[in-house]
Structure 1
Amino acid sequence: MKMKKSENQEKKSNISVEISLDENHVPDRLEWSAPDGGINHQPTKAVMLSFWDETKKEALRIDLWTKDMPVDDMKIFFHQVFVSMSNSYENATSDKNTAKLIREFAETYAKASEIID
């Protein structure tokens, strides 16, 4: 008997992060995969992942970095996250003024952390 595919059947996708820990439970190696995007076991030095808890109206976060993540790279990573947040915020809300404030903060941060002059 053939089963008819449901018209409402949703496609699912998976993104995963694999964390290798040292003897002190500190991340030693991070790899992420997004098979639908062609990414499998891609090494990375840091990851920031946020989830929205609608019931509690709060962000739940996972921030991880390897013990050998260079501080200068971490500063650049944060700067790029701030810029990306401003773009995401503007796309999600169409609030150009607040997005501009986030971008200005990102530039102020970049100067304070000495990643730009």
Structure 2
Amino acid sequence: MHHSRIEIQVSLDSARIPEAISWQASDTAAAEPRAAKAMLLSLWDDQTRTSLQMDLWTKEMRMDEMADFMYQTIIGMADSFARATRHTQLSERMKNFAQEFITEFVKAQQQLQSTDSSSP
């Protein structure tokens, strides 16, 4: 049996807030760990039938990057759900939600910028 190893390193500041995240996998061509600004990890516990989640992001993660990250994650989850279940209609609904989410985020950012630029 083949095994693959994924290693995640998180550097924390004195308040235990992530300053840096890096990861490395045994089945990749990358010789050095890769940096990341955020991560979402979900594991399914079959015994308790619950999702165990670890969500981390660094101090340098900008709000627009977080919105893009969430948008792309939701799209990826929709694709995974469709492949695993063949429920394409539900997958499309998830993708529609992702599109609404990013559209609303962009609108809110534009409103914030127009408010900021009109302030004396």
TM-score band by shorter chain is: 0.7 to 0.9
TM-score (norm 1): 0.87
- Structure 1 residue matching 2:106: 3-state secondary structure: coil
Gaps of 5+ in 2: 111-120
Question: Match of 2:53, as an amino acid?
Answer: R
User: Would you say 1:113 and 2:105 are equivalent positions?
Assistant: yes
Give the secondary-structure state (helix, strand or coil) at the position aligned to 2:27: helix
Determine what percentage of the aligned residue pairs are the same residue.
30
- Alignment partners' CA distance in 2, 1:49 and 1:38: 22
Matches within 5 A, 1:1-117: 10-39=1-30, 40-114=32-106
Letter in structure 1 aligned against 2:28: G
Scaled by the length of structure 2, what TM-score is found?
A: 0.85
Q: CA RMSD in A?
A: 1.4
Report the structure, 1 or 2, having the larger helix content. 2
For structure 1, the 5+ residue unaligned runs are 1-9
In the alignment, the residues of structure 2 paired with residue 37 and residue 12 of structure 1 have an alpha-carbon distance, to the nearest angstrom, of: 13
